[in-house]
Amino acid sequence: MYESYLSCSLLQKCDVHKLDDAPATEVVLTREEGLQYYRIMQTMRRMELKADQLYKQKIIRGFCHLYDGQEACAVGIEAGINLTDHLITAYRAHGYTYTRGGTVKEIMAELTGRRGGIAKGKGGSMHMYTKNFYGGNGIVGAQVPLGAGVALACKYQERNELCVCLYGDGAANQGQIFETYNMAALWKLPVIFICENNKYGMGTSVERAAASTDYFKRGDFIPGLRVDGMDVLCVREATRFAADHCRSGKGPILMELQTYRYHGHSMSDPGVSYRTREEIQEVRSKSDPISMLKDRMLSNNMASVEELKEIDVEVRKEIEDAAQFATTDPEPPLDDLCNHIFSNEPPLEVRGTNPWTKLKSVS
């Protein structure tokens, strides 16, 4: 018989900035939660590895930024907020599209530019959306003011909701982020600013890019937390703490999740010219988010090796089925090219798309 829950007091303490309290280090993980987190993280990992394979086969083209290594960030954040809350991120967006309700099949088909993709095959890797998820965004840092706007809407409409606004360490030096901090603090917006610090903005280490690498203190007048972004429970507890802060009317809070990406910045970056293979392997062996959760569950008799292997087999099958769909589903027809420019407007003619035709856009 398995243990139904684990009372865990081994979480790493968060560093705090301008806060009297800190997230809990003694937390409860139920068996159901552990199995759910494991399945989601494995699905995200396998999906990204399959995307890597399809890209190398030239079935996926264009931009493609993979999330493997950072799964604990997405899963921990989602475990700490509600699906009625809002989330916006940069271009490393496949994982969040999945946690926000997209299916593996829709995500894979979007990557291959097929009609069954989550954006009808017209968005690709960087532009995926679901309910309360405002996408991957391709312009560095540009999603941060948009996220503050979503938080303003939550406050204006007096809904007890918040917006999680994600960006990377590379974007953290953008001026528009500091302008957004200022407005969010002045208006006490319910927004959690989260810097996913994966140590390298494109091919530049944080030490070479930033005079101060204490990203959780960058809000200055905004309180902050620095969290182990490789531990799903650390991220969950920190997010719950931050969400309570926002919902109580105290305004914005900033979180830095210290994480790591196994792939390069994008598929055009081999990822080993500015860091060594040994460094990547060391992170994999010592602080892989999936392995850490697996070891925690096995050592506390919350699951068996066989049970977790069964999940692995089911996940692999789901990924293979999705890849099959993503390589056989038809591409969107030309007539669909301009559709969904507006969400609720009557049909309009779109000029200039082709010198010989006028395409019609329908919402």
CB of 98 closer than 8 Å to CB of 47: yes
Q: What is the pTM of this model?
A: 0.95
Rg (CA), the chain: 21
3-state helix, strand, coil in the chain (%, to 5): 40, 15, 45
Given a cut of 70, whether residue 9 has pLDDT beyond it is no
For residue 50, CA distances in Å to 251, 284, 323 come to 40, 18, 8
CATH topology of domain 6-332: Rossmann fold (3.40.50)
Given a cut of 90, whether residue 126 has pLDDT beyond it is yes
Given a cut of 70, whether residue 355 has pLDDT beyond it is no
Given a cut of 80, whether residue 338 has pLDDT beyond it is yes
| Closest of 240, 217, 236, 290 to residue 260, by C-alpha | 290
Tell the residue number behind the tokens 């540009």, with chain if given.
142
Q: What pLDDT does residue 361 have?
A: 84
Given a cut of 80, whether residue 170 has pLDDT beyond it is yes
Tell the residue number behind the tokens 């999906």, with chain if given.
47
CA triple 21-219-162, angle to 5 deg: 70
CB of 151 closer than 8 Å to CB of 97: no
CA atoms within 13 A on the CB side of 302: 23
Tell me how far apart the alpha carbons of residues 191 and 227 are, in angstroms, rounded to a whole number. Answer: 17
Mean pLDDT on 275-303: 96
Give the H or E element holding residue 8.
Answer: strand 5-8
* Domain residue limits, the chain: 6-332, 335-362
pLDDT-above-70 percentage for the chain:
98
Q: What pLDDT does residue 337 have?
A: 82
Indicate left, alpha or beta for 241 from its phi (over 0: left) and psi (-120 to 50: alpha). Answer: alpha
| Closest of 207, 236, 253 to residue 71, by C-alpha | 236
| Average pLDDT value for the chain | 95
227-264 tens-digit pLDDT: 999 999 999 999 999 999 999 999 999 999 999 999 99
